[in-house]
Chains A and B, each alone.
Chain A
Amino acid sequence: MKLTGLGVSPGVAVGRALVFRQHTFDIRFRVSPQAIDHELGRLQQARDRSRRQIVEIKDRIARTAGSDHAYLFEAQLLMLDDPMLADRAVHFIRAEHMNAEWAVRRAGEELTALFDQTADPYLRERKGDVADVMGRIRLNLRPQSASAQIPGSVEGPVVLVADELAPSTAAQVDWRRVVGFATDVGSWTYHTAILARSLHVPAVVGLHDASTRIPAGATVAVDGSSGEVIVDPSPDLLAQIDAWRSRDVEAERALEEFRHGPAVTADGVRIRLEANIERPEEVVVARKYGAEGIGLYRSEFLLIRGAGAGLATVDEDAQYAAYRTVLEQMAPERVTVRTFDVGEDDLYPGSGAAHLSRPVLGRRGIRLSLAHPDLFKTQLRALLRAARHGALRIMFPFVSGAEEIRAARAVLADAVDELRARGDTPPAVPVGIMIEVPSAALTADLLAADADFFSVGTNDLIQCCLAVDRSDDRVSRLYEPCHPAVLRVLRHVSRSARRAALPLSLCGEMAAEPGALALLIGLGITEFSMVPTAIPMAKRVIRDLRADEARRAAAKALRAATVADVERAVEAVRFTHNARRSDP
């Protein structure tokens, strides 16, 4: 069984699954007036115990991961004593005779509701800290607090599989024994992801249902670079994992060596490498890995999710702030913001990771934005206002034809007029489209007249082109980036862009694979955007590659009838041009 999520901490690890599901059961009842003091005492004890535990965790984190990460627990300690939490819980016990568990839960719910109301996406994530503190107090209200260290009595290396790994749980983990982890929820900036990277433990998050699908005790391989989790890997695969491991050691070395300096092929073709990010804070990561710009800034984190919310976003000012932060930090390099790309199904999520699954053929991307012009216009106004703070490009996702570009541009023109009416004249901003629907790819030569740039989204383009839903286990094998059909489509897009002198870039996982990257360069694509961690390796591949050789391989691959033939054509490309020169 193979599960795919988001690799948030690179590296490969194999171990036995320790499945951990956070579950706290509360009993709620009204206490008799005589028992109120007893309840207050229990609450006090639970808070004292919690405080000791958090201090201990904080100290441990400060020792192992550095004081940079310990502040999260500093904040939790303050939350534990916060009048908005502690005093409220005491009030509920005193005035409403709730038992301590109920009072704590109620106080937590009040706070969570307040956090939900705020427009700030960063803040809405701080809810996790509140929930963590509340969960800890409730655990400590239990008669005997089971605070045994994870993984406890399990033998050998362990892969921790959890529905959700709260920072406090993660901190109780003995990381010498736990070699990797996989969680159902999470994103790149998930606390635990940050922690995993600092501890150099491979991690995959956003797996949706891994904690229910992976049986406890099963052998699990976690690839934090590709985002794959393999349950019961075959002996062949286990052998291959050793190869992956050496690849990751190399990746670390590549980071140090290739972080700085441009990506130029051995025969002098300049390649531009940018980063995909989904949160403003990731700019720091992008910079660290040597990104020359942000090629894909996903804006979905600005959407407000939640039962009954429908399609809603944080307000214009909060959006403006989120765009501006990234533009300022990347200036003068460009930042390409993709307007909201969600499907309607995502708006009524069951889990925090709902945005990871997007319907392939539904009303999503520009289709959904055009159906909600006011919301779309708000986003565009915020973008236009932010434009003066850096080099902004606006990109529309999931475009299938010229009509949609024109309709979207009309909304953009309205947004400009509205800003002018307010006395604010926004600068001109390049407006481009994602090429990810086959109809757009096949008419790229025509769409060039309506767009200022193209950005190929390979993940969806491949899925749609090959009619393969990658999340469907029965057909996911058929997802082949190097399928002859994909190459032909890409050639058409590349040619169309070149003839129209339109900037073309490509974002998607495909570019992170050396052979595919060589093919893409061979097809004439010279700008790529990828997860920040993939940039140093890509840079190395590029420096060791000759573009003329890649072009010959691509020409050969374009005549191939099967994926195997394409791969044979790629094998002729040598990735040793510079490496050989530097080796004695």
Chain B
Amino acid sequence: MRSLAVRITNPLGLHARAAARFVHAAGAFSCQIRVACGSRVMDGKSIMGLLLLAAAHGTEIVIATDGPDEAAAIETLAQLVAGGFEP
């Protein structure tokens, strides 16, 4: 199990497009992926869950991965968030 805190840098926050990119990227890994924002924790492979985090620009989210490919998953996802969700 690994976890990492990342700050949302794109102006619109974790909105539909960003969440879709995240879920797409997360879907490529077999490990369990959780995303936390404040007190809420959601399934990182659920677009609804990510949207409901309502993570705005500037907030910090914590990505946690657990499973065989957890290292690759956390690196990919953290980069995606840090890069403003641009592919």
A81-120 vs B, Cβ < 8 Å mask (1 yes, 0 no):
0111100000000000000000000000001001100111
Which chain A residues (201-240) contact chain B, with CB distance < 8 Å?
A: none
A123 with B52: CB separation less than 8 A: yes
**Measured between alpha carbons, how far is A392 from B24 in the docked complex, in Å?**
39
A78 with B11: CB separation less than 8 A: no
B44 to chain A, nearest CB (A): 11
B48 with A85: CB separation less than 8 A: yes
Given A75-B47, A83-B45, A321-B16 contact (CB < 8 Å): no
A416-443 vs B, Cβ < 8 Å mask (1 yes, 0 no):
0000000000000000000000000000
A78 with B23: CB separation less than 8 A: yes
A325 with B11: CB separation less than 8 A: yes
CB contact between B47 and one of A82, A114, A321, A325 (< 8 Å): that residue: A82
Does chain A have a CB within 8 A of B54? yes
CB contact between B48 and one of A120, A130, A325 (< 8 Å): that residue: A130
CB contact between A118 and one of B17, B49, B52 (< 8 Å): that residue: B52
A71 with B17: CB separation less than 8 A: yes
**Which residues of the other chain, A, contact B51 by a CB distance below 8 angstroms?**
115, 123, 126
Does chain A have a CB within 8 A of B66? no
B48 with A82: CB separation less than 8 A: yes
Does chain B have a CB within 8 A of A74? yes
Which chain B residues (1-35) contact chain A, with CB distance < 8 Å?
A: 11-13, 15-17, 19-20, 23-24
- B48's nearest neighbour on chain A, judged by CB, is A84
Does chain A have a CB within 8 A of B43? yes
Given A123-B51, A325-B11, A75-B56 contact (CB < 8 Å): no
Does chain B have a CB within 8 A of A348? no
**Measured between alpha carbons, how far is A153 from B67 in the docked complex, in Å?**
55
A365 to chain B, nearest CB (A): 28
Does chain B have a CB within 8 A of A72? yes
**Measured between alpha carbons, how far is A321 from B8 in the docked complex, in Å?**
13
Interface size on B, residues (CB 8 A): 22
**Measured between alpha carbons, how far is A329 from B15 in the docked complex, in Å?**
18
A75 with B17: CB separation less than 8 A: yes
Does chain B have a CB within 8 A of A565? no
- B23's nearest neighbour on chain A, judged by CB, is A78
**Measured between alpha carbons, how far is A94 from B66 in the docked complex, in Å?**
29
Q: Helix, strand, loop or mixed for chain A's interface?
A: helix
**Measured between alpha carbons, how far is A114 from B54 in the docked complex, in Å?**
11
CB contact between A114 and one of B12, B20, B52, B56 (< 8 Å): that residue: B52
A72 to chain B, nearest CB (A): 7
A195 to chain B, nearest CB (A): 15
Given A321-B57, A329-B11, A75-B20 contact (CB < 8 Å): yes
Interface size on A, residues (CB 8 A): 26
**Which residues of the other chain, B, contact A82 by a CB distance below 8 angstroms?**
46-49
**Measured between alpha carbons, how far is A281 from B10 in the docked complex, in Å?**
13
A71 with B20: CB separation less than 8 A: yes
B16 with A129: CB separation less than 8 A: yes
**Which residues of the other chain, A, contact B11 by a CB distance below 8 angstroms?**
325, 329
**Measured between alpha carbons, how far is A85 from B51 in the docked complex, in Å?**
13
- A123's nearest neighbour on chain B, judged by CB, is B54
**Which residues of the other chain, A, contact B20 by a CB distance below 8 angstroms?**
71, 74-75, 78
**Measured between alpha carbons, how far is A93 from B24 in the docked complex, in Å?**
28
Does chain B have a CB within 8 A of A194? no
A72 with B48: CB separation less than 8 A: no
**Measured between alpha carbons, how far is A79 from B17 in the docked complex, in Å?**
12
**Measured between alpha carbons, how far is A71 from B17 in the docked complex, in Å?**
6
A111 with B16: CB separation less than 8 A: no
**Which residues of the other chain, A, contact B19 by a CB distance below 8 angstroms?**
75, 78
**Measured between alpha carbons, how far is A119 from B20 in the docked complex, in Å?**
21
Does chain B have a CB within 8 A of A29? no
- B55's nearest neighbour on chain A, judged by CB, is A120
Which chain B residues (63-83) contact chain A, with CB distance < 8 Å?
A: none
**Which residues of the other chain, B, contact A123 by a CB distance below 8 angstroms?**
51-52, 54
- A283's nearest neighbour on chain B, judged by CB, is B11
A84 with B46: CB separation less than 8 A: yes
B77 to chain A, nearest CB (A): 15
B47 with A115: CB separation less than 8 A: no
Residue among A71, A85, A130 with the highest chain B CB neighbour number at 10 A: A71
**Measured between alpha carbons, how far is A507 from B12 in the docked complex, in Å?**
28
A75 with B16: CB separation less than 8 A: yes
**Which residues of the other chain, B, contact A72 by a CB distance below 8 angstroms?**
16
B48 to chain A, nearest CB (A): 4
**Which residues of the other chain, A, contact B56 by a CB distance below 8 angstroms?**
120, 318, 321
**Measured between alpha carbons, how far is A130 from B19 in the docked complex, in Å?**
14
**Which residues of the other chain, B, contact A74 by a CB distance below 8 angstroms?**
17, 20
**Measured between alpha carbons, how far is A84 from B46 in the docked complex, in Å?**
7
**Which residues of the other chain, A, contact B24 by a CB distance below 8 angstroms?**
78
**Which residues of the other chain, B, contact A78 by a CB distance below 8 angstroms?**
19-20, 23-24, 47
**Which residues of the other chain, A, contact B52 by a CB distance below 8 angstroms?**
114-115, 118, 123
B24 to chain A, nearest CB (A): 8
A-B contact pairs, 16 of them (CB 8 A): A71-B16, A74-B17, A78-B20, A79-B48, A82-B46, A83-B45, A84-B43, A84-B46, A111-B48, A118-B52, A122-B12, A122-B15, A123-B54, A321-B58, A325-B11, A329-B11
B residues whose Cβ falls under 8 Å from a Cβ of A: 11-13, 15-17, 19-20, 23-24, 43, 45-49, 51-52, 54, 56-58
Q: Which 7 A-B pairs have the closest CB atoms?
A: A78-B47, A120-B54, A75-B16, A84-B48, A75-B20, A71-B17, A74-B20
